[in-house]
Structure 1
């Protein structure tokens, strides 16, 4: 297993031949200037909520890599409207079995879905 921290809430986990990227906020992050977002890999992009500091690079990375984007329902619909083809929208509390294992969306109080 390999863990890569990209800054803010963004990190990647490589395990079992898959790369899971969480909350990609890289290109607008002044503390991540040295990271070339065009080289960030992903098989799955997991998004916690719709704030800009969690979704900034999702569309670009998903379109380039073909990664499956997993997000809360409303946020997933927004990605589809932006042209992302491989989106799995989920409801809070929902669970899904994916190639790498099982995920569950846990409800948390925050100001975005």
Structure 2
């Protein structure tokens, strides 16, 4: 499994020959100006919630690739009415796709499209492939529901928001990593806007002191699990 950080909360995931894009907010992000969405491969687009900084490029990428949009029922229906292929889920539900299993899990946040349309309840995803399992938290506060994840899935990586103001901060993300029982963390949802800028060195030290590995990837860089 190869995971590429595309800036803010956007990810590219390559698993078992399939390409996934998560929460694409790229074309309006000046920090990701070197990423051309027309060059992105996508068989699936996973959307955690409907805010503009997570759905901005969904339609453009879906039009270019024909990707299946996977999200909660309201978001999936929103795109289906626009003619896009979509698969709706809800909290606690799982579905077996041809790259692995996706479970839609709880997140504490809000969710509305930029045009004001209700975006359903926000969530995160647990992806289980043949060899590796990851948790994509989406935008969320720290929640005890995270403790449910390791009861079913042993994670190889947890992708957690760390920018504070709109989501968890670094300290809560450390607790979240305890809850999901995963010491390998990819941080995201930080630095894009002034409200969520972080001290990288301090964040990494806090995780290190807690016996954990926090990765803060340059935009466009990848890791292999």
Normalised to the residue count of structure 2, the TM-score between the two structures is 0.48
Compute the displacement of 1:26 (Å): 0.5
Compute the displacement of 1:93 (Å): 1.6
Runs of 4+ in 1 over 2 A off after TM superposition: none
Are residues 1:88 and 2:92 paired? no
Of structures 1 and 2, the larger Rg is shown by 2
1:64 is paired with a residue whose SS is: helix
1:8-39 deviation digits (Å, cap 9, x = unpaired): 00011112111111111101112111111111
Compute the displacement of 1:83 (Å): 2.7
Question: Contact between 1:59 and 1:82, CA under 8 Å: does it hold in 2?
Answer: no
1:11 is matched with: 11
Q: Report the Cα distance in structure 2 between the residues aligned to 1:7 and 1:62, rounded to whole angstroms.
A: 19
Compute the displacement of 1:82 (Å): 2.8
Unaligned runs of 5+ in 2: 112-120, 122-225
2:36 is matched with: 36
Compute the displacement of 1:53 (Å): 0.6
Normalised to the residue count of structure 1, the TM-score between the two structures is 0.93
1:75 is matched with: 75
1:105 is matched with: 104
Q: Report the Cα distance in structure 2 between the residues aligned to 1:15 and 1:6, rounded to whole angstroms.
A: 16
Question: Contact between 1:6 and 1:26, CA under 8 Å: does it hold in 2?
Answer: yes
Map 1:57-72 → 2, pairs under 5 A: 57-72=57-72
2:179 is matched with: none
Question: Contact between 1:25 and 1:57, CA under 8 Å: does it hold in 2?
Answer: yes
Aligned pair count reads 112
